Amino acid sequence: MLRFLTAGESHGPELAVIIEGVPAGYNIELEAINRDLARRQKGYGRGGRMAIEHDQVRVVSGIRFGRTFGSPITFIIENQDFKNWEKRMSADPRDSGEAKPVTRPRPGHADLAGVLKYHLDDIREILERASARETAARVALGSFARQLVAPFDISVLGYVVGIGNIEAAVPAELTIEQLAKVTEESPVRVADADAERAIIAEIDQCKRQGDTLGGIVEVIADGLPVGLGSHVQWDRKLDGRVAHALMSLQAVKGVEFGKGFGAARVRGSQLHDEIGYDPVAKRFTRHSNNSGGTEGGISTGEPLRVRVAFKPLSTLMRPLRSADIKTKAEAVGTIERSDVCAVPAAAVIAESVVTFEIVNAFLEKFAGDSLAEIARNYRGYLEQLRNY
């Protein structure tokens, strides 16, 4: 199984991610990872920071001549903005007088709970790590993981299905490839031109009013075999693992699979996915996919479908009421440079973390120290299913 840690502050010199448990024998295309990092930087409604950054991974360990060989992989992503923060984010105690402490916590951020918990008197020491800048490392990780299942025809896609109270339709006739193309071309990552126009107008209006917007992202994973994850233990359930990963993202307030909360409002007869059998393909089939692709924490072989709710961003240019942590006087939240809406980027990030969890469950099921061994285990399992 893969394990990982990320490190780095938003305005520090760089972000780092170490990935352990990587099988040998995979050719890794770094440009594909950089393309996903660029996808995360796009989207209507972002602030000035994305114009400064040009995210790219630098490999420090674990890849030789383009290939994995079993060692832990370390990726570094430089923060271009660090050059504007060198003294204020310095590790050198002699620079400690260079930064004015941030003392007015912003409602909705980790600011207040963080300084109280860590007994700090500068909110910057919380906000730098709580920042969604960390998600650049998560995208590098997911994009790398995607390459570990590329030989097995698994595809994962994230896109936007709503921003604020504007819903974007998803045309049912589109294949996942077509949906990927359409949403990639949209500045707000939707597949609905009318909704796109309305969303852009809403973002513009929010910007003028110093306000922010959230939204809902959908992630679909196609090509999963039946049998990823397990019912036998709480922390092996695929849906639980995917939900944990998504809830760990900044600004996420809700996760639902398939019909999700809607499942609670209908009768069982209207919900559960009836079973059939295709004798030609020699496989069990489903008449619907209301479960969202898992039952008992195990993938069913139907596409995994999960929706994620992102709250409106917490830094408002027309700030909310707060209290100064030093003087305890009434104040308003600090203004940091900020986005109006980051939901289009959040779709790429959600796609990345779902990919990582699926790949991890895949590697657990078909465990091997090399691509050759994993491919053998995978083929053997498909054969076993056909002969069931």
Ligand X SMILES: Cc1cc2nc3c(=O)[nH]c(=O)nc-3n(C[C@H](O)[C@H](O)[C@H](O)COP(=O)(O)O)c2cc1C
Nearby residues of 24 by Cβ (< 8 Å), 6 or more positions away: 67, 68, 69, 70, 369, 370, 371
- Of 73 and 217, nearer to ligand X (C-beta) is 217
Q: Among 123, 141, 216, 251, which residue sits at the site for ligand X (rule: CB under 6 A)?
A: 251
Cα(246)–Cα(233) distance, integer angstroms: 20
- Of 39 and 241, nearer to ligand X (C-beta) is 39
147: enclosing H helix or E strand = helix 135-149
Q: How does DSSP classify residue 319?
A: P
- Of 212 and 299, nearer to ligand X (C-beta) is 212
141 lies in the binding site for ligand X (CB under 6 A): no
Q: Among 79, 147, 186, 250, which residue sits at the site for ligand X (rule: CB under 6 A)?
A: 250
Q: Annotate each residue in 70-109 with x if it binds ligand X (CB under 6 A) or - if it does not, as one string.
A: --------------------------------------xx
Among residue numbers 312 through 331, which ones bind ligand X (CB under 6 A)? 313-315
- Of 183 and 315, nearer to ligand X (C-beta) is 315
What pairs with residue 304 in β-bridges? 221
Q: Among 135, 300, 322, 360, which residue sits at the site for ligand X (rule: CB under 6 A)?
A: 135
Q: How far is the CB of 262 from ligand X (least distance, A)?
A: 24
Q: Among 15, 63, 132, 304, which residue sits at the site for ligand X (rule: CB under 6 A)?
A: 132
- Of 39 and 259, nearer to ligand X (C-beta) is 39
Taking each helix axis as running N to C, give the angle between helix 30-41 and helix 343-365, from 0 to 180 degrees, rounded to the nearest 10: 150
Quote the tokens at residue 65.
């001549």
111 lies in the binding site for ligand X (CB under 6 A): no
147 lies in the binding site for ligand X (CB under 6 A): no
Half-sphere exposure of 164 (CA within 13 A, CB side): 19
Q: How does DSSP classify residue 23?
A: P
Q: Among 110, 148, 238, 353, which residue sits at the site for ligand X (rule: CB under 6 A)?
A: 110
End-to-end CA distance of the chain: 27
249 lies in the binding site for ligand X (CB under 6 A): yes
CB atoms within 10 A of CB 50: 16
The answer to whether 200 and 299 have CB atoms below 8 angstroms apart is no
Q: How far is the CB of 49 from ligand X (least distance, A)?
A: 7
Strand 252-257, strand 304-310: pairing = antiparallel
338 lies in the binding site for ligand X (CB under 6 A): yes
Cα(343)–Cα(44) distance, integer angstroms: 9
Contacting positions for ligand X (CB under 6 A): 47, 108-110, 130-132, 135, 249-251, 313-315, 338-339, 342, 345-346, 349
